[in-house]
Structures are given as C-alpha cells and as structure tokens.
Structure 1
Amino acid sequence: MHVITIETASLGDRSYLVHDGAVALVVDPQRDVDRLLDAADRAGVVITHVAETHVHNDYVSGGLTLMRLTGATYLHAAAEPLRFDHHEVSDGDVVQVGSMRVEVRHTPGHTPHHLSYVVTVDGNSPAVFTGGSMLYGTVGRTDLIGPESTKELTHAQYRSVNALAASLPDDTTVYPTHGFGSFCASAASELESDGTLGTERTANLALRAADEDTFVDQLIAGLDAFPKYYAHMGPLNIAGVAAADFSPPAEVDPVELARRIHRGEWVVDLRPRRAFAESHLAGTIGIELSDSFSTYLGWLVPWGMPVTLLADRHDDITEAQQQLVRIGIDRPAGAAEGGLDRWAPDADRSSYEVTTFAGLGQLDEPTVLDVRQHGEFADGHLAGSTHIPLHELLDRLDEVPTGRVHVHCQSGYRASVASSLLDRAGREIVLIDDDFGRAADSGRPIIV
C-alpha cells in the first residue's frame, strides 16, 4: 500500500491518494481535483473509489467531480442527507479496492455521521484515515454543527478516538484530513506526533486525558471563533457542487474599478502588506496573497458580494482564484494586473504608516487596537489596548477609538487586513507590522 499526500496549506487540510500499484482510493478530495488526477497518472494507477470521512464544513469537496470524471465509486455515510448519487456505507462495512481492504468505522464527534477508514493489505500494518476525528495530538473541533450539540459531540469525539485507538495496533499510521493549521482543529497538544498510533497514545489530548469529563471541559474551553464562510460549506457539499471553472476572470479597467468601489463592492489588492500601506487605490481592501488569503477573505466578505482582484502578476490572480474556488467563491467579478500604475493611473491614492513595537515605544500614549482572537488576547496583551478581533471588526467599527490608531495582531498579517478596512472607512491608521513576541519592545506592560 502506498499513500500520496496532497496538501492544501491555505486551508490546513490534506487529501490522500491510496493505491496498491494498480488501483487507488482517494480520501477527502479538495475541489481542484487536477492535483489528484496528476498524482494518479504519475503513479500509473486508476482511481476506482473516492471516500469522504464527513460532510466538510471548511471547504467545498471535489468528490462529486472526481466521481464524474473517473467513474469511481463514491463512498459517503449512509446517514447523510446527500442530494446526489453515491455509495452508502456504515459502521462495519468492508469495501475491497484492488488488494486493499477498506473497513468503515463510525467515529462521531467532529460531525454526527463522521466516518474513519481502516485500510490494510495482506495483514500488513494498517493505515487509518481519520478525517476530523483523531488528529495529530488532538481532535477535530466539535462546535461546527451548532452550540446546542457541542457538548454531546465532544463526548462522542472522546469515545470515538478512544474506541478507534483500542482496536488498532501501535504501528498503525494515522492520516488525518484536518490539523495542519485548519480552524477545524481544536486545542493543540504540546507533544509531537510521528504519525503513528503508538505516539498518539501519549500525545493525543483525547487519549491521555484523565477521564472523559476532563477532556470535554478542556476541549470546549479551548474553542474559539471559526471562519464565517463555514456556514455555507456543509449545505454546498450536501447539495453537490459542479466542477470548478478556472478560466481567467474578465479584465477590469480603471474607470470600472472606480465604479465598483463607489458601489461598495470588494476590490481586493493582493500585493504585500507594506506595498499596500505605502500606496493603494483608495477604497480597496488589502489582503496579501498567502496561505491565509482565502481564510480571511472568506471570513470577512459578505457572502455573495462581488469580489474583484488586483495584483502585480497574472500568476497571483490565478493563485487567489484557486484558493477562493476551494471555499465556494467560484468566479471573481473581474481582475486587474500589472501594478498600481496600470490599474489606477489617475485615481485617488491612499496610504498609511507602518511601524514596529519598538517604534510604538517611542510614542507618548499611543492608541492601540489588538485584532487577535479572544484566546490570544487572554494569553497576554498590551496594557490599555482596545480589543476587537478581526472577524468582528466590520460589525464594531463604532467601537474603534477615535484619532490615530495603531493596529497589531500576532504577526502583522491580520493587522494589515484590519488596517486596510479601517483606512477604507476613513480612519487614521498605523500598521504595526511585527511579531507579538516583541511586544515588550513597546515598553508597555503586558497583561496576562
């Protein structure tokens, strides 16, 4: 048995191509299925089965597209109310994929109908594909269905992980979908895992908790906000989503850009945050293209709002488009490339200052806005700072202090997004583009 990992760093997730040299099973495919098709082609194998561990809340699945392209059997939990043809499986079912024996395990917790798949070949060491159940050192979060079911699902998550671990040997290799920066992961373990069940027994929060109630209390206490776009992913995946359209978006000229900004549409500048701060088209929003791009754009943009992309290079537009497709934002309303002088030659420009925590320390009583998450703020923050998490900022603009405001987060990325939103709202902003580990350089006390 061979396992090829397809990582999607922008969402903190992994898909897997599992094959025996002839045929392959794909587990939890992302929407841009070309990566999986290319991997199968390079390995010289045929995809005959696709398996979902659960209805995903953090991305649009490519399973239906992959099934239609390859004719593969599409495995999904029988209990899910899916609106497309698929092969229903339940706890204890066994599916043969070439020489690979695939056993289905019901592992509720992350979602009520969550499945894990135990794959073996000729009695060799198993591999278990755990989706959002057992992750490396931790488990998938249990609050995505709704607050009314969080406690029940957290109890179920503890029992599922412990039952799965009790039934498999230490040399089992664990392959989770979430847990690599995904907001679908819960509290992190301080211990490292080498990806085997043997180390998970000592590293995983669910396997080393004193008891079930202690685990439940610990997990729930560590849950913080998750991206707003998650609310749309489950329904899209239940309905089934068509293949993505990656054709280039329509080119937008400076006059039309001005119209879109005037209408209140989102015109998003992908350039590095310091370049945006130095000069940008007034009314645009700066979200630097990075592995965090789609997460924060999807979290903040009103769902259904037209999005126009601006970038120096065509490749940046393509990368942004690919990231957005994965979370169900299918077609940008348009794009402009070639740099600020090309897409806004005669337009109004805006800018704001950039500093560091050391620079902040040179000022007399500056006003500071902290846009980190609630848990981060509770772990330590600058005395006297105002706290409004980035994902709450647009709904709490009236709470931002008046006058000149210095904005920071943990690394500078979220603060740059917040700064662009505040600049768009006409506020006087200074971006603190610095790591919070250097917050003491400001000379201000850190409250813990």
Structure 2
Amino acid sequence: MSQFNLIPVVDEGLGNSTYLLDIGGGRALVLDPERDVRQVRAEAARRGLSIAYAVETHLHADFISGVRELAEAEGATVLAPEIGERGFAATGMKDGDTIDLGSFTFEALATPGHSPEHLSYLLHEGPRLVGVFTGGSLMVGTAGRTDLVSPDQTVPLARAQYHSLQRLMELPDSTPVWPTHGAGSFCSSAAGGERVSTIGAERATNPLLQVEGEDAFVEALLGSLGTFPDYFLRLGAINHSGPAILGTSPTLPALDAAEVQQLMAEGAQVVDTRPAADFAAGHIPGALSNTLRPVFATWLGWLTDPDRPVVIVRSPDQNPADIAWEAAKVGFDTLAGELAGGMDAWAVASAPAALPLVEAKEMVAGSPAVLDVRQASEFSSGHVPGAHNIELGALLEDMGKVPHGPVVVMCGHGERAMGAASILERAGRTDVRVLTGGADDWARVAGQDLQVGA
C-alpha cells in the first residue's frame, strides 16, 4: 500500500477546496483548481511534485477554472466531463471511465444535478476504495444548488441531484467524501466549518438525506437556496470555451491622478481596496469600497461591471499581484491600473470625499433609519429592531427601497456596509453613515435583544 497524501488548498473567500493528490513517481493530480494556481503549484513544488493531471468535476460558475493554467505551466493533462466538450484540449470522461494513475485508479461517476455534466470521481488503490471527490454534488451537510443553468432546468436538475445522492449513498459508510464547494460558497447552503466528511456521516446527519422521497428532497433543496452573484451566469461560458492563459501574475499599471480622472470621465470604475476606516476618512468620489479580504473577488464580481475598465486604489501594504489575481478569478483579466501614490497623490490633485462612521452607542442615542445589508439568512438570525434589509448584492437594483432621510448602514463587521454606503454616495445620497461593528455590538450597548425573523 502506498502512502496516501492528499492536500486540500482552501479558498476561504470563495468557499472552495482544490485538492492536490500525490499519485507517486514524483507526480501529482490537482482537482478543481481555481485560476490563481500559485498556492497549489507552491504546495506541489514543496513536495518535489510535478502536476501531471488537472481535473474538473463540472463547469464552474463561481470562479474561472485553472486547468488551462496548469496545462500551460506544468504540461498537465486535463480531465473533464465529456458532456459539454471544452473549447480547449481535454480528455473527456464519462460514467465508468477510468484513468490509471500508477498507484491509484481514478473512476468517473456520473452525478448530475449541480450541473448537467457533473462527475464525481472514485479514487481506488488496487481493490480498495480510498474515497470520492464529489465536487458540487454531495457536500458536508447539504448538496449543490441546481439553479445556475436556467430557470427551466432548476427542478429537473434538483431531481437529478436526488438520484445522484442516492447513488453516492450506495458507497460504504467509511468512504471519505471530498467536496469542492463548502461553507462560504454561494454554490452551497452549508453553514458549518467542516469541509470533508464520510458517506456514513452524511447519511446520518445531512438534512437533505433525512427527507423521504424525491419530491420532498426537491422541496427541501430549493427551499435552502439563497441569492447568488450574477457573475455566476457568465463564468460558465468562459470556462466552457476556455479562459485566457495568464501565465505570470497580471499587472496593475501605475496611473497618475490626471490619468485616473480621464479614465473616470470615459466611464472607468474605481475600486478602493483599503480598509473601511481608511475609505471613510478619504476616498475618490464615486469609488466603490471593497476591502481586500478573502471575499474580495466575490464582491468585485457582484458589484462591478465587467465591461468597463477598473482602476484600483490600494494601501501600500496590499500586494498588487494579490489584487490582480483575485480579480482574474472572477473574469476581470485586465485591470486598467492603479492610482500611483494612493490617496495622498489624489489629495494633491483633487479633494477626497469622506463617509462618517458611527459607533453603536451613538446609534442607540438617536433614531435614524437602519439599513442592514447582510444576506437574508443572516438578517433573520438576529437584527436591530425595525431595521430594513436589502442585501448588498441587490442594492443597485433596489435603490428605491432605501429609507429616505438619514440612514445608518450596517452589516456584520463594517466592510459590506461601507461598500453599500459607497454605492449610495455615488447615487447622490449625502445623509449616510456607517456603523462600526455589527448587530451584536448594538445589542450589547443598547441592552436589548436582537429581533429574530424577517
């Protein structure tokens, strides 16, 4: 028996796991890589491995795939579902197909549902089943959503997902389950922190496996779905045709203040990646606040127009390569550049704007309207009494629902609230403040319980 070495490379922001598997002979297999392959390549190099295979379970909607990057950089053979043939070189896999990896055998298992072409992969070592990579099919405590293809396919795919999970339940209880999507992914409704499981654990505890029959499963699955970023509806087509190969890190060309002003006059968007407090103290008028943190790519894709140039404003301690790769994950291949010298340079050329912050104790003392921009599920779990809920991702469409008059914008910690406030400011609102902290901070200062429910 060979030594089993499986390394998950987790993207906490997108909520996904890429898997690096040592298949022996100095070679590795990588499953469901994102476009930023720096970390998975570093993990392979640290172990003296070359990446021989880059594998996909399905056409991803939440990120640009990295299989082409690995094929170019490492000479990896791409394995992908045969259904929905890719616009680039890939070995098509269908149900029952196997690949001899030397120490291991890789077997495709058709598990449609999250997408029509979805495959899981069984990993065998001789006669022993080592585990199953389930991608966006069976996940820890849930299953992949089925509403990312088209509205008319949502229910049929949910029914397919039911049968796929039943098929996976035929595996032994001890079988390890290695999903791609997990907590933090908009492809999943999972709330816990666990990213791997076993068939037996899911059989016993997964709520979707406790319901009786296909109809009940469909109702439970569809009832668990929240909103998702609209960029999910365009990335699948890019992954299908084949994303551009970026190779070395994409760059952020330096732009002086006059060049930024000219680009803005021509329709460019400014995205400010600095911490929320820095944005509040001074920013380019009309800029979007999107703090560089694990979920940066999600909010960039959700709130920014992919058809307009993007100019970045960052802090000196923020790595421009990290910003560029995060943008590339969601299809922003080429950013217009960054403001050279940051806000200090802008302040010399033009007056910055500011957004006032408010602490919970000040908010309790007054009675402004409260706009809570968290997801509906977060809001219903506990919110300031009387607060209005408009999810940040829906704010551009639901601007007319924002309360008139002075308003305090809040979220969980302040970053999403600052993003929302920057959108409101751009729309002409001058009576907006941002709460530092969240609902728990308000409850502690107010000495009141949070309101539960919608």
- TM-score interval w.r.t. the shorter chain? over 0.9
The change in CA–CA distance for 1:366 and 1:240 in structure 2 (over 3 A counts) is same
- Give the equivalent residue in structure 1 for 2:344: 341
- Give the equivalent residue in structure 2 for 1:254: 257
CA distance in 2, matches of 1:80, 1:401: 46
2:215 to 209, 213, 216: 213
For 2:327, the aligned partner's letter is: L
The change in CA–CA distance for 1:172 and 1:426 in structure 2 (over 3 A counts) is same
For 2:395, the aligned partner's letter is: L
CA distance in 2, matches of 1:246, 1:67: 16
Give the 5 Å matches for 1:7-406. 7-22=10-25, 23-166=27-170, 168-186=171-189, 188=190, 195-244=197-246, 246-313=249-316, 315-363=318-366, 365-406=367-408
1:429 to 423, 432, 435: 432
- Whether the 8 Å CA contact 1:369–1:400 is kept in 2: the answer is yes
Find the residue that maps to 1:320 and give its secondary structure.
Answer: helix
For 2:424, the aligned partner's letter is: L
For 1:334, the aligned partner's letter is: G
Q: TM-score, normalised by structure 1?
A: 0.93
Offset of residue 299 of structure 1: 0.3
For 1:216, the aligned partner's letter is: V
- Give the equivalent residue in structure 1 for 2:451: 446
Offset of residue 250 of structure 1: 1.3
CA distance in 2, matches of 1:247, 1:287: 19
378-387 vs 407-416, which moves further = 378-387
CA distance in 1, matches of 2:382, 2:414: 16
Offset of residue 322 of structure 1: 1.1
CA distance in 1, matches of 2:195, 2:396: 39
- Whether the 8 Å CA contact 1:324–1:330 is kept in 2: the answer is yes
For 2:177, the aligned partner's letter is: V
- Give the equivalent residue in structure 2 for 1:4: 7
- Whether the 8 Å CA contact 2:133–2:178 is kept in 1: the answer is yes
Offset of residue 176 of structure 1: 0.9
CA distance in 2, matches of 1:300, 1:376: 20
- Deviation per residue, 1:258-310 (Å, 9 max, x gap): 23334442111111101111222222221111111111111011221111111
- Whether the 8 Å CA contact 2:382–2:450 is kept in 1: the answer is no
The change in CA–CA distance for 1:189 and 1:383 in structure 2 (over 3 A counts) is closer
The change in CA–CA distance for 1:158 and 1:18 in structure 2 (over 3 A counts) is same
Unaligned 5+ segments in structure 2 are none
The change in CA–CA distance for 1:264 and 1:368 in structure 2 (over 3 A counts) is farther
- Whether the 8 Å CA contact 1:169–1:197 is kept in 2: the answer is yes
Offset of residue 208 of structure 1: 2.6
Unaligned 5+ segments in structure 1 are none
150-159 vs 366-375, which moves further = 366-375
CA distance in 1, matches of 2:36, 2:372: 36
- Whether the 8 Å CA contact 2:250–2:333 is kept in 1: the answer is no
Find the residue that maps to 2:138 and give its secondary structure.
Answer: coil
The change in CA–CA distance for 1:192 and 1:34 in structure 2 (over 3 A counts) is closer
Offset of residue 405 of structure 1: 1.3
Find the residue that maps to 1:349 and give its secondary structure.
Answer: coil
The change in CA–CA distance for 1:215 and 1:348 in structure 2 (over 3 A counts) is same
Offset of residue 165 of structure 1: 2.2
- Whether the 8 Å CA contact 2:80–2:92 is kept in 1: the answer is yes
CA distance in 2, matches of 1:88, 1:424: 48
The size of the alignment, in residue pairs, is 445
Offset of residue 320 of structure 1: 1.2
Find the residue that maps to 2:321 and give its secondary structure.
Answer: helix
Offset of residue 251 of structure 1: 0.6
- Whether the 8 Å CA contact 2:439–2:450 is kept in 1: the answer is no
- Deviation per residue, 1:414-446 (Å, 9 max, x gap): 111001111222312110122223443455972
Find the residue that maps to 1:304 and give its secondary structure.
Answer: coil
For 2:370, the aligned partner's letter is: V
429-438 vs 322-331, which moves further = 429-438
Tell me whether 1:413 sits opposite 2:415 in the alignment: yes
Q: TM-score, normalised by structure 2?
A: 0.91
- Deviation per residue, 1:210-264 (Å, 9 max, x gap): 4332222122112111011111110000001121252422111111222333444
CA distance in 2, matches of 1:348, 1:189: 43
Offset of residue 189 of structure 1: 6.1
The change in CA–CA distance for 1:182 and 1:189 in structure 2 (over 3 A counts) is closer
Find the residue that maps to 1:280 and give its secondary structure.
Answer: coil
Find the residue that maps to 1:67 and give its secondary structure.
Answer: helix
CA distance in 2, matches of 1:152, 1:2: 37
- Deviation per residue, 1:27-47 (Å, 9 max, x gap): 111112333333222222332
73-82 vs 377-386, which moves further = 377-386
- Whether the 8 Å CA contact 2:36–2:326 is kept in 1: the answer is no
Offset of residue 402 of structure 1: 2.8
CA distance in 2, matches of 1:352, 1:196: 49
114-123 vs 29-38, which moves further = 29-38
For 1:142, the aligned partner's letter is: T
For 1:446, the aligned partner's letter is: Q
- Deviation per residue, 1:134-171 (Å, 9 max, x gap): 111111111111221111211221221221121x2222
Find the residue that maps to 2:264 and give its secondary structure.
Answer: helix
CA distance in 1, matches of 2:111, 2:239: 19
CA distance in 2, matches of 1:30, 1:193: 17
CA distance in 2, matches of 1:154, 1:370: 32
For 2:187, the aligned partner's letter is: C
- Whether the 8 Å CA contact 2:122–2:129 is kept in 1: the answer is no
